[in-house]
Chains A and B, each alone.
Chain A
């Protein structure tokens, strides 16, 4: 196998890695907010459920969770496993990352001084408007560093998709390395991940800068 075939095969894998990354963020960023809000629900059952969900997700390996999502429906309900690989993968990632984002959001929401809520109430903002117009913008600014951390971790965590034999860049690196008895694929994968994270860090830094117009 020439270096250029290796590169083009692995680039295709990197595209799939990017797919997992993008879909996970797209699902987990908003879902995390819903989870964070449900955690403060006035119904004790909802709060309890969310608490259990977060502690299970944080207390078990993501790799194990992916296997459960993939094989669970087949073993438990005898559902067909065909075509379930990619959906289960995304589901596993979204549900996992939503729990972590929810905790970040919660920390951010709780850090806003109570005076902001009081000022908003006196000025006639409804609960929804208070959250959307006054609280949320300030929360986003405060949580940016933690979110950046989590997003960078996600770039690397996408490699766990190899447990479900999904052909993203890490799976391919392992396969090509074994079949070609070459170390090269690992180097290429490393460079790909590094570049991806460099781009992520750069974008997040720009967003943080853009939010620096106030303190």
Chain B
């Protein structure tokens, strides 16, 4: 298991967003998370990547505990320094890209590896150029984010996350901020990563993509995992009424 989240609970201002969720991802697995908005999908990713702290439950990366629940039922995280080590296991691609506008594309990819992972400049730049080539935007290395289209920016963001050499990559609705004609180029890149056995968790509203690319689909609603399994099973033969209801909206 790359990541294991057990009995995760999380609330915001009294509202339970995650209700005792357990979920794990094996190496090389591609998991899609679908569900209506407000179902807790994004919060789950944000807890997995340590942007939010859980209220209860435990988070393990590579079998090591990053957070657990103490005797009083409160979540306890490892020490600050160790948390940085856990952060290096995971990458996150945001809906809004969140590239650094004052750095050019190459520096967006190399700054963190050089300054936070203490890699050499040469190594970091070589890795970055390789990744940009893979994303089909090697010619944009010296461009600034504002000079790129949304699809190109998102591909840079994916490359930036990969430049940290994470064990697992999380995507938070990576195509939701893009024009329909630009979604294809981003999905193509994710599909390519899936073929290379990159471990990924993708929160998405692109049902055909989820069906075609993932090994497993999770349907979340109301802060719980309602149903999960083989994508063909979940999409063509959903067992739960809530899942059927949700998928019907997409069939229209």
Contact = CB atoms under 8 A, between A and B. Distances in A.
A210 interface: no
Contact of A115 (B91, B98, B111): B98
A121 B92 CA distance: 10
A199 to B, nearest CB: 27
Interface string A123-158: 111100100011001100100000000000000000
Contacts of B94: 115, 118-119
B98 A134 contact: no
Given A118-B94, A133-B115, A215-B146, A124 B100 contact: no
Interface string B97-119: 01111100000000110011100
Nearest to A136: B102
- Of the four ranges (under 10, 10 to 19, 20 to 34, 35 or more), the interface on chain B belongs to 20 to 34
Contacts of B69: none
Interface string A187-215: 00000000000000000000000000111
A124 B164 contact: yes
A122 interface: yes
Given A115-B94, A214-B102, A123 B116 contact: yes
Contact of B111 (A116, A121, A133, A141): A133
A131 to B, nearest CB: 13
A161 B92 CA distance: 55
B88 interface: yes
B115 A134 contact: no
A119 B51 CA distance: 10
A68 B124 CA distance: 57
A141 B116 contact: no
Interface in B81-95: 84, 87-88, 90-92, 94
Given A115-B96, A215-B146, A123 B112 contact: yes
Contacts of A115: 94, 96, 98
B160 interface: yes
Interface string A83-127: 000000000000000000000000000000101101101111110
B87 A119 contact: no
Contacts of A137: 102
A213 B111 CA distance: 18
B39 interface: no
A213 B144 contact: yes
B6 interface: no
A122 B102 contact: no
A123 B102 contact: no
A138 B101 contact: yes
B22 interface: no
Contacts of B161: 122-123
Contacts of B98: 113, 115-116, 118-119
A124 B144 contact: no
B7 interface: no
A141 B84 contact: no
A122 B49 contact: yes
Most buried by B among A121, A122, A126: A122
B165 to A, nearest CB: 11
Given A123-B112, A124-B164, A141-B102, A118 B51 contact: yes
Contacts of B51: 118, 121-122
Interface string B9-47: 000000000000000000000000000000000000000
Contacts of A214: 101-102, 144-146
Given A115-B94, A118-B51, A124 B102 contact: no
Contacts of B101: 138, 214-215
Given A116-B100, A215-B101, A122 B146 contact: no
B87 A129 contact: no
B102 A125 contact: no
Interface string A162-174: 0000000000000
Interface of B: 49-51, 84, 87-88, 90-92, 94, 96, 98-102, 111-112, 115-117, 144-146, 160-161, 164
5 contacts: A116-B100, A124-B116, A125-B112, A126-B116, A138-B102
Interface of A: 113, 115-116, 118-119, 121-126, 129, 133-134, 137-138, 141, 213-215
